[in-house]
Structure 1
């Protein structure tokens, strides 16, 4: 039992087919970027507020019972009776051979609009994303659906965000089959050679509320850098990258790694953090000022410039 519990999680997840990467003192995966593995033995997934060891990981994400998980891990270590030295990879529950499909759209987007407006995002910004088909409300759970489209305009990614935050811990997740190499982005503006990069769609929208004349913007939908790599490949005109990731440990470490990587490739890379708060939405909400019973957000770059139509 102790052997099973002390399984090296990064090694196990790599064996299972996950794309494991290290960020500072932690490990995570491209498929579940809210997952944090500490000391290589314990995991916690912030989007679902769950955690545990290697046994509970197999139970929750691979559909194993407790005895099956223990047996698998013993086989993985070559300790199970009549077992090969290493266990063969098995199918991850609900993740393989399931095509990507956008969730059905609700008849209206009232909950999504109200939720994002409550988070301080300007109505104009919300409407423009709704009108462009990059944002909508799903019919079953009334989540925000943030749609990522490839260079051909095809939806290949969708991130979900619950419209009801209980104690600040609302539901978050990706639609099954989403391609993490496709981020949530503004339609490309050829007149600019710069792109602003964020962790989450809500941070991107918050920044647009503050800075109405932002030309190109991309949300990685986590800290996986594949979306930025694909974006730059699709838009070779981009020469300048502004990294606007979260002002916390993982965000700063990811920004440092991305800055080193792309500076070495010849890009002009700068880092911009919110003046206060962990991320751009926290900062936005601190900047809100009352106006006739509502909220007005100052555009710190040019208050007179309108939002670019998308």
Structure 2
């Protein structure tokens, strides 16, 4: 039987401070469940299925929506999700009935790369990456030769769109995910960005597009495949013995998965972890003092956006005990945020 956390009838008679403290003490997972947020576990944290850049940390009873630069305690969560003010959130948390959160076992369906028959010569995709994104033929050819790029026609939100496909492969060479970037601008169809954008259903969520240069002994993470290509564009002459990885957002699970893999590669020991164990790879490394006393200080470089979300992500990993090198693009005069593709285009125009 599911336990219900109900409020006592005397709660209205409590002082304002007591009501605020009681509201703040509500279990954040119970509250998220009552707010009809479908969550899935990602290591020790949980993510919202609808927007997986929102991370809920039950150990801290806090949340962080990295892509929107929002976060805080359970009161702030209610304010954000219900679009109400602080006092209304206090009332909701004091006077509501909350069932104990139970996580449904998530069965990871196999990824099916259905786009192979619809792949085309990489011509419109090349034009888009060159003309709209400022990438050179040399950079495009490098990623094409690695087998992680394709052009195809794909159904995105009911519309057939020409797209660039960024492929994710596991370390046995099997494709386990893909993200799609539309190449035809249409603000009426895609009012948020002007272009179609999607993650293919059942992508594994923790591998991301990645490429190796030499024999990797360190990892560089970017927020998107295009940012990763842009970082390579600007640094390709100095990159050696490194693995470049797109997180498709700000995802600790991707960092953990690749830390675990690199440990296996360097040590020569096979890696036979489950999906969830891989997702928790960073925390496992921290718990085993992997970064203690300055060890492995150069393993993780975060080439994330220079904005509040990117800076918060760097801080969150450092607060956990990970050693992180930050490699954010410089802000240009008048800019409040910058990403690596913007930096690439700026370097061309400068």
Indicate yes or no: 2:268 matched with 1:243.
no
Match of 1:173 in 2: 198
CA positional deviation for 1:194: 2.3
Provide the TM-score with structure 2 as the length reference: 0.57
CA positional deviation for 1:279: 0.3
Going from structure 1 to structure 2, the CA distance change for 1:176 and 1:240 (only over 3 Å counts) comes to same
Any idea what SS the aligned residue of 2:245 has?
strand
Indicate yes or no: 2:284 matched with 1:224.
no
Match of 1:275 in 2: 330
Going from structure 1 to structure 2, the CA distance change for 1:34 and 1:252 (only over 3 Å counts) comes to closer
Any idea what SS the aligned residue of 2:212 has?
coil
Where in structure 1 are there 5+ consecutive unaligned residues?
1-6, 44-51, 55-76, 80-84, 291-310
CA offset digits 1:72-96 (Å, max 9, x no partner): xxxxx769xxxxx6799899xxx97
Match of 1:66 in 2: none
Indicate yes or no: 2:158 matched with 1:133.
no
CA positional deviation for 1:120: 0.5
Where in structure 2 are there 5+ consecutive unaligned residues?
1-29, 48-54, 84-95, 155-160, 188-192, 267-295, 332-336
CA distance in 2, matches of 1:169, 1:86: 41
The number of residue pairs the alignment matches comes to 236
Match of 2:286 in 1: none
Is the 1:259–1:270 contact (alpha carbons within 8 Å) kept by the matching residues of 2?
no
Provide the TM-score with structure 1 as the length reference: 0.64
Q: Which has the higher helix share?
A: 2
Q: 1:55-134 maps to which residues of 2 (within 5 A)? A: 98-105=109-116, 106-118=119-131, 119-134=133-148
Q: 1:161-200 maps to which residues of 2 (within 5 A)? A: 161-166=181-186, 168-187=193-212, 189-190=214-215, 192-200=216-224
Any idea what SS the aligned residue of 1:161 has?
strand
Any idea what SS the aligned residue of 2:312 has?
helix
Q: CA RMSD in A?
A: 3.5
CA offset digits 1:171-220 (Å, max 9, x no partner): 22211111111121112632x52222111111110011111132321111
Indicate yes or no: 2:346 matched with 1:286.
yes
CA positional deviation for 1:26: 6.0
Larger radius of gyration: 2
